[in-house]
Structure 1
Amino acid sequence: MNRTSEKKAFLNDCLTYGLVILAFVIVQLLVNGGAVSSLFKGLLVPLCTYAILAVSLNLVVGISGELSLGHAGFMCVGAFSSALFTNLMAGKLPGGLDFVLAVLIGAAVAAFFGFLIGIPVLRLQGDYLAIVTLAFGEIVKNIINALYLGVDAKGVHVSLKDTAALKLEAGGKILIKGAQGITGTPRLSTFLAGIILLLLSLFIVQNLIRSRTGRAIMAIRDNEIAAESVGLHVTRYKLLAFTISAALAGVGGVLYAHNLSTLQALPKNFGYNMSIAILVFVVMGGIGNMRGSVIAAVVLTALPELLRGLSDFRMLIYAVVLILMMLFTSAPSFIQYRERLFSGFRKPGKQA
């Protein structure tokens, strides 16, 4: 990459960070001025969560060129491992430190599962990879729904039957209650924490893309045989991208878990539909476009809630917006129109 390209990429990254920070400042001013409803305030942390998930999945789909449908499973692993930690450490750590450690633990556990799953799975391609990762997400969700976990003076007790089978001593604490999930999780997620984690995720992904490793990953995506012929270790680079993506999905899960007092592995939270929704954010924002993924995640998450007052027409309008966004980002005629539109903002004589 020459110096001009590096400068252009740097400015593009700075624009992305600047837009996120600007959005944060504007929202904070509106909140402090009392111009934001309680409904929109409740959406702030989920918006950051889904933006992080979209960026992390785009690393696999857009940069690595693999189709993964198990992203909700990594989110679920990160959410439950971090919520388990904060429930165990409740009141034992100074303020703020428990959330930082929870983020690190959620990312590490999700990365471990990503690495573990990626070793056999990344030897597959296309539909086969999508099916296996989808199965992983469903397996994780169903295991957690059947899991009972408690702790007492003798240590940790695990059962797949019921709480009585844990046989806890007096003073013992049940942490995971099967389908009821984890209750009493401290609500540590804030809009500021979400923005910081989103910026951190963007920084990690965009710097990876600009690095030598990122260029190797994209070379493998473009032509795997040619990349292997020049000495690139295909599986190693794919596994690296997949593991980092899983870790960032775990971070999104941590943010999600600590925005709720009760965490349950419900299908709508961590099931197949969630993985598809994250994939929709990636496709709508543009495959390989991190800034587009953030914008698509924010728009498509906020829109159904903001249109809730329209009752029966809410999802109809949402579907129309979805179609228009898809056409604007993917249809050849719309792409040509967009290029003509933005060409007017370029300096005279500068090529597109």
Structure 2
Amino acid sequence: MANRAYNFNAGPAALPLEVLQRAQEKFVEFENSGMSLMEMSHRGAIYEKVHFEAEALLRELLSIPDGYKVLFIQGGASTQFAMIPMNLLRSGTKAAYVATGSWATKAIKEAKLFGETSIAASSEAAAYKHIPSISELKYDSDAAYVHVTSNETIEGTQWAEFPDTGSVPLIADMSSDILCRPIDVSKFAVIYAGAQKNLGPSGVTIVIIREDLINKPTTPVPTMLRYDTHADADSLYNTPPTFAIYMMSEVLKWIKENGGAAGMEARNREKANLLYEAIDNSNGFYRGFAEIGSRSLMNVTFTLANEELEKKFVKESEAQGFVGLKGHRSVGGLRASIYNAVPIESVSALVSFMGDFQSRNS
């Protein structure tokens, strides 16, 4: 399609073109209702079909076992940073967090507002360039939970495998890599993810929570910040973000059509390998930020010799239709976010641009 940018934004991020076109066809009138989906009641049969289809697709694609609730909540992962300790951190226990970068640090900061926390492991001393090894994790056997951030978008690091925490509930923020590869949901007590990177547009947050953890909090928690509120009402306690959930459902259909989680992994590894090879074979012109064993499939971070050259790279890339390659303001450098919907053609075009830029600036 003409005039489509090479979209490497970190989030909100690229959506599949096919999904956008399907939504466009149904935008003004949905299912012969005489209304757009955005205009109709969330209590009506038409929307409820969309709502529960989205849940069913998510359960299928992630192979979510029995005993888990799937919730659609607003407020992004940042709200989950507070909801988790508010609902699950009991008096007399500690919550253990693995400090892997910017997003894990924000989760830790929020948890400290509601109870005791400990750091199970940290890569801060290494500028968060790697994920701590599983053997490094240290936490109390009676910890309220262990929290990990599966993928750090800013630093470009990702857990290759997850720890087995036994009887201690394992919680994961998967906002930036959910459904980028198959995972064993049964290893986790809670998985949460903002949709705006791999699952759809911004506005809806997915929470997959083990049913035995959905209890009335031991301390007063506002109604909308309680998991039992949303679980008891099938995420329809109040008006949900209906259009965002519809778009997510369409993205999930697209993922299913393209091989599910395994298909996404093959697609994502091909894209990531292209970019990392371009970096590694540049004779030091491009320098990967993350250590090789912790490199992300979703966010490829790299630097150039100096800030002026990076600014030139961003300016020239933007002139050629590349969007979102400037690194996060907190760490600088460059970043290409290659979530599920980013096509291989965009990555190939970026690799070609990188080669040309190197030849002109070496």
TM-score by length of 2: 0.29
Give 1 or 2: higher helix fraction. 1
Q: RCO higher in 1 or 2 (8 Å CA, sep ≥ 6)?
A: 1
TM-score after normalising by structure 1 = 0.30
More strand by share: 2
